Structure formats: C-alpha cells, structure tokens
Structure 1
C-alpha cells in the first residue's frame, strides 16, 4: 500500500502536470527569410518549397534545442532587402553571412564560424585559359573581365585585390551565368559549395566549366539582430557549438557541395 503522504504527493504532481497552465513552454521564435541568389544556402525546389544548407541548419539547431524555432525560411526575399530588414529588426537572423567591419557594427555574429566558402572561377566550356592565381587573371587585361554580383561582398573583395577588370552590373548569379555564356565577360567568380548544382539547375551544364583553382576562402557565420535577447543568442550559439563539435556542420556542407 502506498503511504498516504506519498499518495497525496503523487496526486498533486499528477494534477500539476496535467494543468493547462503548465504545458510545455512556447518555443522562442526567430524570424528568418530565404535569401534569393544564395545557392546552396537556399535553393528553390518546386512551388512553395525551399531547401538548402541553411534550411538544414535551422532544422538541426531546432533538434539540438527544441526551445528554439526558426520561421520564414520558405519565404523568398532579395538579398539586399534581407540584410536591410535584419538591420531594421523586421526579422531576427541571417544564416551563413560574411563578417565585415560594417556588418559587425550592425549585427551580432556568433562564433564559431558555420562554414568556410571557396571562391572559384566559372568559364565558358571552350575557354583555354589556365588560371592559378589573380596574377594570371590580371595578365589577361581587357580579355580577363570578371563578372560578379552587385550588392554582394565579392565586388568589394575584388576591389581590395586590385588590378582586375570587374563587371558587377548583374544583380543575380543566374544573370551572370547568362552573361558569361553570351560572351559578356571572361569569368564569373562564384562561391562553393554548390557551384555545379547551381550550373545544372540553370540548364548550362556542358556550356560552362568550373576552374579548379581556389581563388579565395572566407568564413561565414550566423548573424542575429542586435535586438535579439542575449540569452537567446547564447542558446543559438551553444547549439551551433554542439553541431560543430559533433561534425554535423561539416556533414551538411558535404551534402550540398
């Protein structure tokens, strides 16, 4: 027989657990968007569906810490607007963002880095240029025009490298692929992982090729708005640290390479 005192205690515990006011706490919601032109971070996969590296990352963080929930990764937004809306606190986080001095004043970047991106050149399939480094591109002079995207970090990066012919008039990677195929530029500088998949989805496999030299590398981070509660930032950071230490971040990167 259960002693009377213990029986009363168990009944009280059962009542408390069943009370509506003591249901599982509501998750902390972090608003995000799918950034256009950022494959493989976000990739269109049919009507109303977005997949990709960052979508996988959000789901992985939610598994590590079920008290966090990312919403909005199925809604597209132009890249520049995504950044301006985070700055205006209209949403809460951006995935896989390159840290610059200006952005470090605008957002809160979480360590450790999520991934390291590689920058490689795409050329037309029949191009015979052999490129090992930026000097090889410079030596081509007017015949070595580099296509890149306005509003992205790459034009700034190329300006810092110096001595290069740059065309940053296109606003999307897909537009630059079309320009490359049409002969309006010698190379298109784009980031890996995911270049080949991007080319395949554009229907240009066989018309362009990826040159093997890695021209630059950069780390990217989770960026949160300055309005996000420091305690929430800490929970996101701890989840990322766990995904980094158990190898899940690298597994995700390999999946989309």
Structure 2
C-alpha cells in the first residue's frame, strides 16, 4: 500500500514508490565505494530524474540491496511497488505491468578464455561446437531465459555471481560465460583476471529494459510514472543517463 511522505521544507505530501537495488546488476545498480556505501547507477539516476520532473513522486528503498527473487516476492506480496530495469518474459508479463518507454537496452556477449580459438557469429556456430559448448550464466537472471529462447541446451546456471562463473570458466567447467553490457568489462576488471578472458565480438542478443510495477499500484501513480519516463525519453535524458555508465 502506498504511503505519503512529507518533503523537507514545505511539508508537501509525496507519494512513495517502494523499490530496491537489485544485487549483481552493475551498472544498473552498483556501490559507489566500499561495501555498505551509497548505491548509484543507471536506475538510481533515472529515479532521481523522475523525481525532479514530478516532485510528488518519491522512490524509497533504492539504497537497500536485494536479490532478484526477493524483489519478485516483494512485488507479489504488495510490500514493493516497482522495480527498475527488467526485460519482458512470459511469466513477468502475466504478473506485472511494464511501463514504457524502454529505459535502455542491454547487449549480450559470450566471454571465452583468452586462448580459445572459437569463432561465434550466431547461435548455430555455438551449437556446432557440441559437445564442448556449455554456456555459463548467472542463476535467476534474464540471461538464462535468453539462452533458453535461443535453443541453447547446454546451460550451467548453478552460480549466481559473475566472478564465480569466471572462475568456473577458467577451470574449464564451461566453454563460455554469457553476460551483458553495459557492465561486462567492469565485471572482468573487478575479477582481477581480465587478461585471462576475452569478449567475443558478436552481439548475441539485445534486450530492452523497462520499469516494472505491481498490478496493485494506483493507476494514477502508474500514469504519472509513465508520463515522466516518456518526457525523459523524448528529451534524450534516458539515453544520456545510460551512455554515462558505459
């Protein structure tokens, strides 16, 4: 249930939209510094831009980290109202409302060991490498659905952390790691093992990301959020924010 907050200074009531920072999605959400530091990222910038356009809306919870399954649970139970930066899927389309326009798009690539000679131009090339074509992906993330929809039958999504998947790749427990940009190069750099890997040049898939809201959210609030996002899209601000994090 939505609540009203008093804004500092004027005591004007603002409508609270409860959300969370999704773990493991840099630069959609990422820490500004050491563990426990301020949460920044594309989605945080978008939420602040929405609040600037419509001061009567206030996002709360964007400084609290949650894994994606907990975010889903919060939306389902009515203790959260919105989540920033999710892609369409059959299950999500049934349960939630997608608020257009697209916030930004992510591009998926395959990561290989630096000495791998594989040349991948499309999904058929990947299939032709069988049986040595196991693809690692992060458990619970949209990358798994992208692989499944492309007909990839050898998927290992046992690890939820990108660094763990890179370690598995280095240990030859998979041939490739499937991940998205913006954020992929930063994942490699933070692993401390970037020189041991290479990002294959082919964009394997492109997925637009949207604001998703719970179906119980007040339709008037949904419309205000949609209007603000449309204004940001038309002005080029959404594109500017996304590019600033690449």
Q: TM-score, normalised by structure 2?
A: 0.90
Question: Which has the larger displacement, 224-233 or 179-188?
Answer: 179-188
- Within the candidate set 234, 240, 244, 1:251 is matched to 240
Question: In 2, Cα distance between the equivalents of 1:120 and 1:130?
Answer: 13
Higher mean C-alpha deviation, range 131-140 or range 200-209: 200-209
* Counterpart for residue 43 of structure 1: 30
Change (3 A) 1:210 1:90: same
Describe how 1:27-176 pairs up with structure 2 within 5 A.
Answer: 27-45=14-32, 46=34, 47-176=36-165
In the alignment, what sits opposite 1:10?
Answer: none
Q: Which has the larger radius of gyration?
A: 1
Once the two structures are superposed, what CA deviation does each residue of 1:206-252 show, in whole Å capped at 9, x if it has no partner? Answer: 12121110001111110011121111111111110011001111111
Alpha-carbon deviation of 1:163?
4.8
Paired residues in the alignment total 235
Could you tell me how far apart the structure 2 residues matched to 1:44 and 1:83 are? 22
> Is there any run of 5+ residues in structure 2 with no aligned partner, and where?
1-9
Task: Note if contact 1:31-1:92 (Cα within 8 Å) is conserved in structure 2.
Answer: yes
**Runs (5+) with no aligned partner, structure 1:** 1-22
Shift of 1:24: 4.8
Asked if the contact 1:39/1:52 (under 8 Å) is kept, the reply is yes
Q: Is the 8 A contact 1:33 1:74 kept in 2?
A: yes
Q: CA offsets per residue over residues 37-74 of structure 1, 9 Å max, x none? A: 11221112223321111111111111111111111111
Map 1:217-228 → 2, pairs under 5 A: 217-228=206-217
**Secondary structure of the corresponding residue to residue 178 of structure 1:** helix
Q: Determine the C-alpha separation between the residues in 1 that align with 2:179 and 2:71.
A: 20
Alignment of 1:177-256 (within 5 A): 177-256=166-245
Tell me if the contact between 2:146 and 2:205 (Cα under 8 Å) persists in the aligned partners.
no
Contact 1:37/1:79 (CA < 8 Å) preserved in 2?
no
1:198 to partner: Cα distance: 2.0
Q: Does structure 2 conserve the Cα–Cα contact (< 8 Å) formed by 1:137 and 1:164?
A: no
Partner of 2:4: none
Please state how far the C-alpha of 1:129 moved relative to its aligned partner: 1.2
Between Structure 1 and Structure 2, the one with more helix by share is: 1
Output the CA distance in 2 between the equivalents of 1:154 and 1:198: 15
**Conserved 8 A contact 2:17-2:60:** yes
